[in-house]
Amino acid sequence: MKKTVLVSGGAGFIGSHVTVELIEAGYDVVVADNFSNCDRTGYEGVKKITGRDDLPLEIVDFCDMAQVKALFAKYPIDAVIHFAAYKAVGESVAKPVMYYKNNLMSFLNVLEAAQDKGGCNVLFSSSATVYGEPEAVPVTEKTPRQPATSPYGNTKTMCEDILRDTVKASGGAVKGILLRYFNPIGAHPSALIGELPRGVPNNLVPYITQTAIGKRECLSIFGNDYPTPDGTCLRDYIDIVDLAKAHVFAVTRMMDGKMKENCEVFNIGTGRPLSVLELVTAFEKVNNLKLNYRFAPRRAGDVTAIWADPTLANTEMGWKATRSIEETLKAAWAWEKHLAGK
Ligand code: WQD
């Protein structure tokens, strides 16, 4: 009997890539989104990639409990992967109430529905941002979380705690896995889905590809005076398809009863630190182009260096990042060219 996975925020960048991998792994998927932060490109692309023209799509505002209840009554949901949240760090600083209201209420409603149906597997989309500026790198799952540097980051920390408490109170009827992503980048090799930021991109790679295609004048590298080998910040850039596959491993772990605790946390990263300048140089080399960039002052709130120790996910789930940065940056560029109709 096929298992059904609800993907909240399933039309977004990560949600759409996860939906592809779940379908290809044999799961039935229900995509639920309110399209507040994306258009239908992702959902349409998933249907093209998987050939599933009948892929269920539900327009749901997860802050509306009546809509969430109706969704859980309509489908035999065996697991929920919760992406539905606002995610712009800077915007969250300017609009904290909007972020806390949306990101907490949407998750609380999902958990209440999971409880009401007598239990469910819940996978929460967390972030390395919970580690703040880590005392030591690479970070393991035991590295202490730091006070968040933004309301966005704080909602991730709070949702982690809310899930843990809900799992504990449920006596295991609700099981939880927290996946802490490092920096998701790239696009599906088909170039039919990828990152589609609204307005000016906050994140590095979409800004790079938009500069390369001519949508942006010049990439500003925020700071080259950090205490790192080339002065620019170090991050763990993980290919979006590698990241998406980690969700299949995690959901399968829950469904197959392989969990060792009722709530588990995994770092989903490559374990390979890369500087901003190294990434820019790799992008130019693999795509055989010259990028227009300049060094600019540091960006407030940026962490100097963070990358994962992914050993736990590798050994416990059998998941490992396999794509090279060159492959990822090629796919990112192919996606940008697809968007430009090239
Ligand atoms: C990476 C590096 C910038 C843009 C954030 C969130 C995290 C997750 C991923 C949502 C930094 C530099 C960037 C630019 C630059 N978000 N940069 N010029 O800040 O590591 O993580 O996005 O899920 O939770 O915290 O990612 O891509 O913004 O920045 O020099 O135009 O690139 O200074 O060093 P970040 P990022």
Q: What is the pLDDT of residues 65-100, one digit of tens each?
A: 999 999 999 999 999 999 999 999 999 999 999 999
Residue 9: pLDDT band with limits 50, 70, 90: very high
CA-based angle 149:274:226, to the nearest 5? Answer: 55
Distance CA 313, CA 267 (A): 7
Q: Which of 17, 87, 203, 243 is the pocket-test mutation for ligand 1 (most atoms within 8 Å of CB)?
A: 203
Residue with CA at minimum distance from ligand 1 atom 25: 129
> What is the residue whose two structure tokens read 């949306």?
102
Predicted local confidence at residue 149, as pLDDT: 87
Q: Are 136 and 76 in contact (CB under 8 A)?
A: no
Amino acid 162: pLDDT: 98
Structure tokens at 64: 């509306």
- What's the average model confidence in pLDDT over 161-175? 96
- CA distances in angstroms from 27 to 20, 21, 43, 137, listed in the order given: 10, 9, 16, 36
Second CATH level (architecture) for the domain 204-235+271-339 = Alpha-Beta Complex (3.90)
| Residue 100 annotated among the catalytic residues of the structure | no
Looking at the chain, the number of H-run helices and the number of E-run strands are: 11, 13
Question: Which atom, in ligand 1's list, is nearest to the CA of 296?
Answer: 30
- Average pLDDT of 279-293? 98
Determine which one of 131, 152, 207, 237 is catalytic. Answer: 152
Instruction: Find out whether the beta carbon of 190 lies less than 6 Å from any atom of ligand 1.
Output: no
User: Nearest-CA neighbor of 121 among 163, 67, 63?
Assistant: 163
CATH of the domain spanning 4-185+237-268: 3.40.50.720
SS3 (DSSP) at 264:
strand
Q: Give percent above pLDDT 90 in the chain.
A: 96
pLDDT at 137: 97
Kindly state the average pLDDT of the residues 11-23: 98
189 has pLDDT over 90: yes
Q: What is the pLDDT of residue 176?
A: 98
Comparing 33-37, 174-178, 239-243, the range with the smallest average pLDDT is 33-37
* Element housing 24 (H / E): helix 13-24
Query: Can you tell me the mean pLDDT for 152-176?
Result: 97
Q: Does residue 89 line the site of ligand 1, with CB under 6 A?
A: yes
| Nearest CA, atom 26, ligand 1 | 203
Give me the pLDDT at residue 64, please.
98
pLDDT digits (tens, 9 = 90+) for 98-146: 999 999 999 999 999 999 999 999 999 999 999 999 989 999 999 999 9
In the chain, list all ranges with CATH 3.40.50.720: 4-185+237-268
Say if residue 205's pLDDT is above 90: yes
Q: Residue whose CA is closest, atom 22 of ligand 1?
A: 203
Q: Is 233 in the pocket of ligand 1 (CB under 6 A)?
A: yes
For residues 82 and 140, the answer to whether their CB atoms sit within 8 Å is no
Pocket test for ligand 1, best of 92, 276, 298 (most atoms within 8 A of CB): 276
Q: Is 241:323 a contact under the CB 8 Å cutoff?
A: yes
Is the pLDDT at 342 greater than 90, yes or no?
Answer: no
Residue range 22-70, pLDDT digits in tens: 999 999 999 999 999 999 999 999 999 999 999 999 999 999 999 999 9
Ligand 1, atom nearest to 185 Cα = 27
Q: Which residues contact 1 (CB under 8 A, 6 or more apart)?
A: none
Strand pairing class (274-275; 234-235): antiparallel
Q: Is residue 260 scored above 90 in pLDDT?
A: yes
* CB neighbourhood size of 147 (10 A): 9
Q: What is the mean pLDDT of the chain?
A: 97
